[in-house]
Homo-oligomer: A and B are copies of this chain.
C-alpha cells in the first residue's frame, strides 16, 4: 500500500479513511472510525492524538479486547503464518523470526508466564527493541500489577500505531518516532578527519552477533549517511568497529608489527530509541578516545 498524504485523508470519504487507516490499530478499525469524525487534522501528530484519545476514552472491556487482539511474540500465529502483514514485518525487524534456541525457550517461557499472570498477550513495540531487550523487558514487566500492565500495554500499542502511521501517511512534519546513530573519525595525530576507514556496526546478543551496517568514512571523517536513521534505534547492545591500521599505514606512518591498534571495537548500548547517538573516535596509532557526543 503506497503512503497517502494527510491532506488527501482529510478530504477522503469516511469509508476510504477507514480503509486506509483501519489496521493502524491491530484488528480495531473502530479507532480509525472514531478519528475520522474529527477531521481535518492540521498535523500527523494531531491525527495520532485523536486515535490514541479514542482508545483511552473507550470502555475498559473494549481496551482489553484491543489488547487481546494482538498476537503473541514469536508465537503460534507467527509460526502458522497467521500474522497481519504489519505484525510480520515488525517481528522480523527485531529478529524474532531468527531466535536462537536459548532465546526461543526464554521467550516461550516468559510469554506463557505473562499470559498466566495477566490473561493477555505480552505487547511491545518490537521495532524499538532487539531480541535481548524484549526478553529483559518481559522479565521486568512480569513484576507489574495487572492495572499498571494494562496501561503499559496500551502505551506500547500507541507506539506501534505511531510507527505504522508514520509509514502510511505523508505529512509536512513527521512524527518524532525515529532515532539516529552516527559516527566520526578524527585522526588526532594529523589533526584532520580520518578518511577511508571501514566502519561496521553489529548488534551484540549474548550468544550471537547480528550485522547492522557497514560504511567507509568520507573526507570529513563521517559516513555518508548515519549508520541508523529513519527508524527507531532498537534498545540493545552494539559494537561499532573501526579498521585503523591500514589507514595509518597509508599515511606513511611507521607502525609496530603487528600494529598496536588495528580493529578498534567500541561496545555501547542504546537506551533511547528516538535519541541521537553520536559515537565518534579520536585516534592515533597509539591511543583513542570515544564518547557519546551530539
Contact of A186 among B235, B288, B293 (CB under 8 A): B293
Q: Which residue of B lies closest to A264 (CB)?
A: B267
A209 to chain B, nearest CB (A): 13
- Enumerate chain A interface residues (CB-CB to B < 8 A): 133, 136, 184, 186, 188-193, 220-221, 235-237, 256-265, 267-269, 271-272, 282, 284-294
Give every chain B residue within 8 A of A257 (Cβ-Cβ). Answer: 271
**Residues of B contacting A290 in the complex (Cβ-Cβ under 8 angstroms):** 287-288
Among residues of B, the one whose C-beta sits closest to the C-beta of A289 is: B289
CA distance A287 to B189 in the complex (A): 8
Contact of A221 (CB < 8 Å), options: B190, B268, B294: B294
Mind listing 23 A-B residue pairs with CB under 8 Å?
A: A136-B258, A186-B293, A188-B284, A189-B189, A189-B284, A190-B286, A191-B256, A191-B284, A237-B262, A256-B269, A257-B271, A259-B269, A260-B268, A260-B292, A261-B267, A262-B269, A263-B267, A264-B267, A282-B289, A282-B291, A286-B291, A287-B291, A287-B292
With CB as the reference atom, state the residue of chain B lying closest to A235.
B258
Q: In the assembled complex, how far is the CB of residue A193 from the closest CB belonging to chain B, in whole angstroms? A: 5
Residues of chain B contacted by A261 (CB below 8 angstroms): 267-269
Select A262's contact among B193, B267, B293, beta carbons within 8 Å: B267
Residues of B within 8 A of A293 (CB): 186
Pairs A-B, 6 closest by C-beta atoms: A191-B286, A287-B291, A188-B287, A256-B271, A258-B269, A191-B292
